[in-house]
Amino acid sequence: MRWENLTVESGGNPSGNPANPALFGADAVTTRTFDTPEFRGITFHEIRARSIVNRVPGASRMPFEWTVNPYRGCSHACVYCFARKTHSYLDLDTGLGFDSQIVVKVNAPELLRRQLGSRRWLGEHIAMGTNVDCYQRAEGRYQLMPGIIAALRDHANPFSILTKGTLILRDLDLLKQAAAVTEVGISVSVGFTDLDLWRTVEPGTPAPERRLDVVRALSGHGIDCGVLMAPVIPFLGDDPSQLRATVRAIAASGATSVTPLVLHLRPGAREWFMSWLAHHHPHLVRRYERLYAEGSYAPKWYQRRITRQVHELAEEYGIGPTRAGMPRRVPVPEPVAPGPTQLTLL
């Protein structure tokens, strides 16, 4: 698919050094770098998309059918992120390139507003943050989400956001306005609260406790917020004491639900994760090869065990039932046709 969904913007190339000249011709993309600590080492490829509302491949397996993704690539740099594979469709590197070559659909808000106004659009639920994080660092500069939320609010179009980014609180007023006219579901992703694990496996994300502060703040303003406890990482984040500490912290944040999801390792993410594992925890490599011998997913018995443990802990700590419109369990995605809208482990 590469750039089929994108349109060409003629114009300059301030950096003069597109990442992939064959793909990023100087006429196709505006490539920028910013010499601030926050964005050092990151290249932004600004493009104008032709379409912003995407249908999910294999949507019957997902709790949503339509997504909006204003970015490709993610500076949150989670080692396990299986959106990594999608960078290869752009002829970009799926390792460090995924973390540092960020595609920005600069016309996303205006395009969404136009598509929502189309007579063909039936006002269905739109999920965001399902491919890459829409509140990653780039959003601090490009500020696409306020326009996107405003468009959804103005069309009273139901939507959900899944994020690890604390930046979502910047848009609190807009979210409240939208929640007053339509169904808004917010989920924050916190797979574990172990700080050593966080620093190495999710190096670009806000700390787990800061993410739970987001849940706390949203709840305090009357916006229900669930937690996707993902990923639960075998042998590193699945000890009963770790699960207990995580669920206890989630409960204390005021989350309305907790949905556990065990790490899965699809091609693209698998290679990157396994090289990280070999570097940081070489003694676990054989155990992982055995656990994921059948493919991208841990065995069903393991998934069921984690799910049961987390649900028991959730009950013990009194985390409430999932509200209408948000699934108690996110269905474990099965492999689908390669595309830009696969669910990630946000």
Q: Name the site residues for ligand SF4 (rule: CB under 6 A).
A: 74, 76-78, 81, 83, 132-133, 136, 164, 205, 344-346
- In the bound complex, what is the minimum distance in angstroms from residue 135's beta carbon to ligand SF4? 9
Q: What Rg value do the Cα atoms of the chain yield, rounded?
A: 19
The least CB distance from residue 313 to ligand SF4, in Å, is 23
Identify which of residues 87 and 153 has a Cβ nearer to ligand SF4 in the complex: 87
Task: Enter the tokens of residue 168.
Answer: 């979502």
Q: Which is nearer to ligand SF4, 78 or 291 (CB)?
A: 78
| Residue placing its CB nearer to ligand SF4 in the complex, 150 or 197 | 197
Helix, strand, or coil here: 127? strand
Can you spell out the DSSP letters for 31-73? EEE--SGGGTT-EEEEEEES--EEEPTTGGGSS-SEEE-SEES
Residue 277 C-beta: closest distance to ligand SF4, Å: 16
- The residue among 83 and 152 lying less far from ligand SF4, judged by its C-beta, is 83
The CA-CA-CA angle for residues 248, 251, 255, to 5°, reads 145
Q: How far is the CB of 80 from ligand SF4 (least distance, A)?
A: 7
Pairing of strands 43-49, 30-33: antiparallel
The minimum distance between CB 81 and ligand SF4, in angstroms, equals: 3
Task: For residue 92, give both structure tokens.
Answer: 């970009």
Q: Residue 28 or residue 212: which is nearer to ligand SF4 going by CB?
A: 212
Give φ, ψ of 259 to 5 degrees.
Answer: -125, 105
Q: Whole-number minimum distance, CB 67 to ligand SF4, in Å?
A: 13
DSSP characters over 173-223: HHHHHHHHHS-EEEEEE-S---HHHHHHHSTTSPPHHHHHHHHHHHHHTT-
d(CA 266, CA 84): 9
* Nearest to ligand SF4 of 228, 313 (CB atom): 228
Of the pair 83, 174, the CB lying nearest ligand SF4 is at 83
CB contact at 8 A, 116 and 55: no
Residue closer to ligand SF4 by CB (options 138, 218) is: 138
CA distance linking residue 192 with residue 119, whole number of Å: 44
Let me know: does 74 contact 98? Beta carbons within 8 Å.
Answer: yes
User: Exposed (0-12), middle (13-18) or buried (19+): which is 176, by Cβ within 10 Å?
Assistant: middle
